[in-house]
């Protein structure tokens, strides 16, 4: 406690926000793996599994738009705590008897989980803007990269945790255990998180939901296709392919996806060093274009390798590790740029609009992941991924080359 008391109020709030985000992310990753593997084992087709997550992504789109508005009016502490509470409810609903776990029931629980996830993420990302002084863009980049990267590393651990819990305890017991732990964290957050964090000085109007910034609009378009490019193979196609074609069990599928996401998160945390912060460089639109262009070739090369049946495990698993590393830098760059571009008063409005596009990309990728994989196979999913990354690169070419406040701290 003495170490805690010696920290500045800003650092203590950052640690609380990050801790909430970490705890939520563990349950989010574990729940995703539990649902995919459990319903695949029950004999659900890839498109049916994708449908289970349809409301998760649809409500994510709506939540990011409205959540930014609510964050500006109510405060980010409240939106974060609402997200934690909704996730507890979603987990408890999945503990229902097996006979009740129909597709509509699971879709409703995933809708609640999607709302919860995006309220939590929007609140965490917006909070950082308010905790770093203006003009310290280097510090801002580092804090955003650390939050984003550590979150994704923990999501990867969550994938593995979900597979382990499913194997050892079964579906219902796993979700009850996660709900109990997250409920304790939620109660602590209600007491400790600063009141009115991120509350706008003037009440925003409902018509202000859509961004008026050209830079944010362009970045949001690039983000949509970037995340569609990942989820078109990642959400349904890859775990089902590994299980069906490679004959992997729950532990192996969960372990590989966990390793992928953990590595992805580690690279995100290191993105400031990778992109040149130590040499005094702060990213701009040119940086985003360069890294998106580098990413576009990887899924195409993997698709060609799969079609030629050339050492399929090496091509697929090795290629996906490379894709994850380059994708991580792209994602971290975007996460920094949106927080940097966003206005400070009512920051959640801009961040919420941006993550609405992120959720739209995930929605598009999720639907295509089931449909394209079921009809045309994994190689076609990778070609769609290549197309989406190319579109993200083209859109990124319109980002500002030098944004305001680019000085390092």
Considering the domain boundaries, does residue 22 fall inside one? Answer: yes
Strand blocks (E) in 32-111 = none
Considering the domain boundaries, does residue 389 fall inside one? Answer: yes
Q: What's the whole-number average pLDDT of the chain?
A: 83
pTM for this model (two decimals): 0.75
Helix, strand, coil percentages in the chain from 3-state DSSP, rounded to 5: 80, 0, 20
Considering the domain boundaries, does residue 148 fall inside one? Answer: yes
pLDDT digits (tens, 9 = 90+) for 241-256: 998 889 888 778 878 8
- Structural domains of the chain, count: 1
Considering the domain boundaries, does residue 407 fall inside one? Answer: no
Considering the domain boundaries, does residue 348 fall inside one? Answer: yes
CATH number of the domain bearing residue 55: 1.20.1250.20
DSSP conformation class of 210: S
Token pair, residue 349, equals 């409005």
Q: Of 206 and 382, which is predicted with more confidence?
A: 382
At 43 the three-state DSSP class reads: coil
Residue ranges making up the domain that contains 278: 7-197+208-396
Strand blocks (E) in 115-236 = none
Token pair, residue 140, equals 């801002």
Considering the domain boundaries, does residue 404 fall inside one? Answer: no
At 230 the three-state DSSP class reads: helix
pLDDT digits (tens, 9 = 90+) for 282-307: 788 899 999 999 999 999 999 999 98
Considering the domain boundaries, does residue 202 fall inside one? Answer: no
pLDDT digits (tens, 9 = 90+) for 32-77: 889 888 888 888 887 788 788 888 888 888 887 777 677 777 777 7
Token pair, residue 171, equals 């579906």
Considering the domain boundaries, does residue 401 fall inside one? Answer: no
Token pair, residue 55, equals 């409301």
């Amino acid at each position: 406690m003495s170490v805690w008391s010696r920290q500045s109020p800003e650092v203590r709030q950052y640690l609380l926000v990050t801790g909430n985000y970490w705890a939520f992310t563990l349950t989010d990753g574990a729940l995703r793996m539990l649902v995919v593997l459990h319903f695949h084992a029950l004999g659900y087709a890839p498109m049916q599994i994708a449908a289970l997550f349809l409301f998760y992504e649809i409500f994510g789109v709506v939540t990011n738009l409205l959540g930014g508005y609510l964050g500006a009016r109510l405060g980010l502490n409240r939106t974060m705590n609402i997200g934690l509470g909704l996730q507890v409810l979603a987990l408890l609903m999945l503990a229902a008897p097996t006979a009740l776990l129909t597709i509509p029931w699971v879709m409703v629980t995933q809708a609640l989980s999607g709302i919860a996830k995006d309220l939590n993420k929007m609140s965490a990302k917006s909070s950082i803007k308010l905790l770093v002084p203006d003009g310290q863009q280097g510090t801002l980049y580092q804090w955003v990269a650390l939050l984003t990267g550590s979150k994704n590393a923990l999501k990867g651990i969550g994938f593995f945790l979900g597979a382990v819990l499913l194997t050892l305890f079964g579906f219902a017991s796993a979700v009850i255990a996660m709900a109990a732990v997250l409920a304790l964290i939620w109660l602590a957050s209600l007491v400790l998180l600063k009141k009115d964090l991120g509350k706008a000085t003037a009440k925003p109007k409902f018509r202000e939901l859509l961004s008026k910034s050209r830079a944010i609009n362009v970045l949001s378009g690039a983000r949509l296709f970037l995340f569609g490019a990942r989820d078109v193979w990642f959400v349904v196609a890859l775990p089902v392919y590994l299980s069906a074609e490679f004959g992997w069990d729950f532990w192996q599928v969960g372990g590989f996806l966990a390793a992928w996401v953990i590595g992805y998160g580690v690279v995100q945390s290191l993105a400031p060093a990778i992109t040149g912060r130590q040499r005094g460089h702060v990213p701009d639109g040119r940086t985003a274009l360069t890294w998106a262009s580098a990413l576009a070739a990887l899924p195409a090369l993997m698709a060609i390798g799969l079609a030629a049946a050339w050492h399929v495990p090496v091509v697929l698993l090795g290629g996906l590790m490379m894709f994850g590393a380059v994708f991580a830098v792209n994602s971290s760059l975007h996460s920094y740029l949106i927080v940097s571009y966003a206005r400070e008063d009512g920051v959640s409005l801009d961040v919420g609009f941006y993550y609405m596009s992120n959720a739209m990309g995930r929605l598009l990728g999720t639907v295509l992941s089931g449909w394209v994989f079921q009809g045309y196979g994994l190689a076609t999913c990778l070609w769609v991924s290549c197309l989406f990354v190319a579109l993200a690169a083209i859109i990124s070419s319109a980002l500002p080359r030098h944004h305001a406040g680019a000085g390092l701290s």
